[in-house]
Structure 1
Amino acid sequence: MQVVEKYFPNVFAIPDEFIEATKQTLYMSFWTALVGGILGILLGVVLVVSRPNGILQNRPLYNIFDKLINIVRSIPFIIMLSLLALVTRFVVGTTIGEKAALVPLVVGVVPFFARQIENALLEVDPGVVEAAQAMGTSPAGIIFRVYLLEGLPGIVRVSALTIINVIGLTTMAGAVGAGGLGNLAISRGYNRFQTDVTIVATLLILILVFISQFISNQIIKKITH
């Protein structure tokens, strides 16, 4: 403890704030990953089945979603926070805090994850899809028993990538008052020149990233053996 107090005096003085900031980051990451994950998978599946030569080919629908995803993904997240301020206020009643951050976080994550899911599902062997069609399997059956089942390792892989991206976005959201470790690093570490606070907040964020990556690697090992 004396070492911590000596080299990280500002961190030593605010342990409760670090605990609260970590909880806020976990809160934002969990709900964004859950809601954004569900919507992203749905949108990714729609992209795959509606694309040209897809099992439910629908060019107008595919083109709309494809272009919409490209547009939203091209908007810097810090700008999206401002653009969605009115929507955020309407949904949660405020634009400040971890709950308010969920709206832009989900909007920012869904297009990214949907594109990753699309790429993961496109890696499924087309021959398996064609065989399922030849056997008279319904589109729903192909989606669940072929695309989602055969593409599971890829889905887990891109999910881990997306969670890491979510953690990064929560840090950026913290810069505009959303709370979390990002907010702590900026409000105390940067604005008050407390470098030790910034260092520890960064280390905690990296730990969360490493944990999520480790868990995903273990899941991939289990489902591929």
Structure 2
Amino acid sequence: MSKPGAHIVILTGAGISAESGLGTFRDVGGLWSRYDWRDLATPEGFARDPGFVLDFYNWRRERVRAAKPNPAHLALARLQRDWEGEVTLVTQNVDDLHEQAGSAPVIHMHGSHLTARCAACGHRWPAPREMAPEDRCPACRAEAARPDVVWFGETPHHLEAIGAALAAADLFVAIGTSGTVYPAAGFAGAARAAGARTLMLNLEPAENADIFDEARHGPASRIVPDWVAALCPGEAP
């Protein structure tokens, strides 16, 4: 258990949102077992068939807008509010469930389903309910609107800020993530190299479980609130 005043860095992945009805990607039955990520989550796939890609993300966006935070999201918002030290919350997820639960700030390293981005000038704006290939950028008017998410082969956002947080961490916690894709797969090792302890909270052991000092397994909606309750005694609001 971390001492009051410690800096906790948390990385969340698809597993924390699974109980809110948003599917995971690499697990059995996950999205990439049903769809080819090369067609839907790469710049090349978008260039080949932008309409197909946008239809997929329109469907995902509706799922995100209908989803509600679960007890795991609420517990992390409580931790950010009540912990006597610093809590840096980084997510690989492109939903807004952390924000709905009350977390702030949240570092979205893979972007967001709820914004669009211009592939020509980089301008961002709130995503409409449905995006189409002929949509124009509000800033430069180019027909270059795309989902504001990081695809395979693209560089995640905010890596400098994340690296600084890991270097200053006393505890690194990975929640609901497979831990198999870089650069996020290297976060635990970077935190350990800086002297932090590491904890995994996951439904089941991940492939890189051996680099964590401690692991707890079970549904995020149970194990995350239990962990937060141990750090922040007292009745949750």
The two structures have a TM-score, normalised by structure 2, of 0.25
Say which one has the larger Rg: 1
The two structures have a TM-score, normalised by structure 1, of 0.26
Flag the structure with higher strand content: 2
Flag the structure with higher helix content: 1
